[in-house]
Structure 1
Amino acid sequence: MTTGAAAPESYYERTGEHTYKPTAHAGGAWNTDEQHFSPLAGLVVHAIDGHLARRAEPLALARISYDILGRIALDECEITVETLRPGRTIELLEATVTIGGRPVVRARAWLLATLDSSAVADSPHEPLPAPGELTPWAMDDEWDGGYVSSIEVRRTPPSRRGRTVAWVSSPLSLVAGEPSSALASYVALVDTANGVAVQQDPTAWMFPNLDLTIHLHRQPHGPWTGLDTTVTFGPSGQGLTSSVLHDIDGPVGHADQILTVRPLP
C-alpha cells in the first residue's frame, strides 16, 4: 500500500505572481521527467487571461501560436506576458515561458474585438458524433506520462494510420485553487492531437511537435475538446498533425503541429 500525500488534483500549483510548479499530472509522453505540452499551452492562456483582466474592453483570442524552444523540464516555470501591439479592436500579445533562466516556449496571441456576425456565421465542417457515441480509449496503453494518465479519451477506431476523430476531457483543474476560463481549459487539451491519430508505432519512431498553432473562429467551451485529426509524415524527416477543432456545439477552429520524425535506436 502506497503511503504519503496524494498528487494534487491539478496540473500546476501557483508559487508566485508569475510562477507555477507542475504536478506529476503534467508529466510528458515522450519523457516522463518533462512536461507534456498540452497543459502548459493551457497555462499560457491562463496567464494571458490574467494579463487581460486589467483591460476595460474585453477582446477574444483568435489565434495563438506556440514555438517550443527546447526541453520543457518538469520544474517550476515563470510566464511573462507583454503587449506587442496595443489596440482598441486588435491587439497582439507575447508570452514567454522560462525554466531555470532559459526561455523554453514563446507564444504570440492575436486578439480581436467581439462583434455580432451571427447573420453570416457558417462552416463547411459538420459537427462530430457526440462523446457518448464514441468508444472510450485507454490512451495510456500506448503512451506514458502523468498527463496521458489524467485524461479521458473517446475516439473512433482509426480508419487508417494517422486518421481519427476523438474527444478529450480532464477532471483536473489547470491551477490548484484557481478558476480557469473555458478557453484555457479547452486549449489545455488540444496538443493531445499528436497522440490520438498515431501514424507510426511510438516505440519505433519519435515524432514530437515543435510548435502548436490554433486559429479560432468561435470561442469554445468545455468540458470536451473535439479533435478531427490527420497526421502526415513526409519523406525527409518532417511531419504535420492537423486538426479541425470542435466543442459539443460544432466546429470552432483549426490546430496544426509541425513534427520532427526520427527513427528510435
Structure 2
Amino acid sequence: MGSFYRQVDERTFDSLRATAGPWSPHAQHAGPPAALLARAMERHEPAPGTRLADVRLDILGPIPVAPLTVDVTVLRGGRSMHLLEASASADGRPVAIARAWRIVRAPDDFPRLTGLRESGTDPVPEAADDSSRLELPGMHADGYLSAIEWRFVSGGVGTGGTAVAWGRQLVPLLPDEEPSPWERALVLADSGGGITLTVDPRRHTYINCDLHVVLDRDPDGEWVRMSSQALASPGHGGTVHTTLADQHGDLGTGVQTMVLQDARS
C-alpha cells in the first residue's frame, strides 16, 4: 500500500486500493479525494504569499476506486483572495466538487486573537498494545482504514457519539511526495463520522454528503488531533462537528452534513 493515488497524466489520477472506504472495496473514503482536490487548487496558478483558508467538498455520489479526472477553475480572482473550484470525474461523470478560498497570508505582526481557545493540547498518546486501526462493524479493512493510524484520547466507536483522537496517514497522497498540511488535515477530517460512529450500520446509515473544513492556521507535523461529536435529530437530520488541532493547539473546524436513513434490507 504505497500511496492513495498514482498520477497518470496532468489531469488523471489512478485511485489505488488505499482509497477504498470502510463499507465497500469499490467506493472511496472521501478523505483522499478531498485532499486530492485541495492539492489541485493549491497548485493551480500559485500565488506567493497566499494559503488555502477553507475547503468545502460536495460528494455527488459514490466515488469509485477508479481513475479520476481533476479539473480546476478560478471563479473569482483578486489581489487578496481567489475562489477556486475543483472537480473530480470518473468515466466522464462528476463524482465530487470542491471550492476553496485562497487568501493572502496575514502579516507576521498582526494581533493574535484566540477567542475561547485554550492554549496547548494533550500530547499524542503512546501506541496501545491493540490495533491502532479504526474498527467498524462490517468494515472493509484493506483500504483507507489500513492507511491511517489512530491514537485515541477518549471516546470512540460505540461510545456515545464523541471522540478525541490523534491520527496520521501512513501513506502519501502520491508516491514520493510529501503531503502538504492541508492534505494531511483533509485526509483525516472526513473521519469525524467514523471515529464517533455509534449507530449500528446494519440497522441505520449515517453517511455524510459533504465536508467543510476551515483552518485559520496550517497544521504542523504529521499528526492531526480531532475532537468530534456526532449529532442526530430524529425526523430531521444530523451533523458531525470536529475541532482540529496539532501539537501547538486548535487550528480549525470541520463540519459534515449527515444523511440519516434506515439500512436497506
SS in 2 for 1:194: helix
Q: Does the Cα contact within 8 Å between 1:60 and 1:111 map onto a contact in 2?
A: yes
RMSD, matched Cα? 1.9
**Structure 1 position 225, deviation (Å):** 1.4
Q: In structure 2, what is the equivalent of residue 130 of structure 1?
A: 123
**Structure 1 position 138, deviation (Å):** 3.3
**Structure 1 position 62, deviation (Å):** 1.0
**Structure 1 position 24, deviation (Å):** 0.7
Q: What is the CA deviation profile of residues 116-166 of structure 1, one whole-angstrom value per residue up to 9, with x for unaligned ones?
A: 255323142334321126856431354324001111111134285111101
**Structure 1: where are the runs of 5+ without partners?**
1-6
Q: In structure 2, what is the equivalent of residue 102 of structure 1?
A: 93
Is 2:167 the counterpart of 1:152? no
Q: In structure 2, what is the equivalent of residue 172 of structure 1?
A: 171
Q: In structure 2, what is the equivalent of residue 230 of structure 1?
A: 229
1:1-265 correspondence to structure 2 within 5 Å: 7=1, 9-53=2-46, 55=47, 57-116=48-107, 118-126=110-118, 127-132=120-125, 137-140=132-135, 142=137, 143-145=139-141, 146-158=143-155, 160-236=159-235, 238-264=237-263, 265=265
SS in 1 for 2:125: helix
Letter in 2 for 1:93: L
SS in 2 for 1:188: helix
Q: Structure 1 stretch 58-67 or stretch 95-104: which is displaced more? A: 58-67
Q: Distance in 2 between matches of 1:141 and 1:72?
A: 20
**What is the percent sequence identity of the aligned residues?**
28
Q: Distance in 1 between matches of 2:224 and 2:140?
A: 21
Letter in 2 for 1:60: R
CA 1:158–1:179: 2 relative to 1, 3 Å:
closer
**Structure 1 position 35, deviation (Å):** 0.8
CA 1:196–1:18: 2 relative to 1, 3 Å:
same
Q: What is the CA deviation profile of residues 23-47 of structure 1, one whole-angstrom value per residue up to 9, with x for unaligned ones?
A: 1111011222111111111111111
Letter in 2 for 1:148: L
Q: Distance in 2 between matches of 1:141 and 1:236?
A: 25
CA 1:155–1:86: 2 relative to 1, 3 Å:
same
CA 1:110–1:75: 2 relative to 1, 3 Å:
same
**Structure 2: where are the runs of 5+ without partners?**
none
Q: What is the CA deviation profile of residues 52-79 of structure 1, one whole-angstrom value per residue up to 9, with x for unaligned ones?
A: 43x3x33111111111111211100011
Q: Does the Cα contact within 8 Å between 1:186 and 1:222 map onto a contact in 2?
A: no
Letter in 2 for 1:176: P
What is the aligned length?
A: 256
CA 1:50–1:156: 2 relative to 1, 3 Å:
same
More helix by percentage: 1
Letter in 2 for 1:26: T
Q: Distance in 2 between matches of 1:118 and 1:198?
A: 40
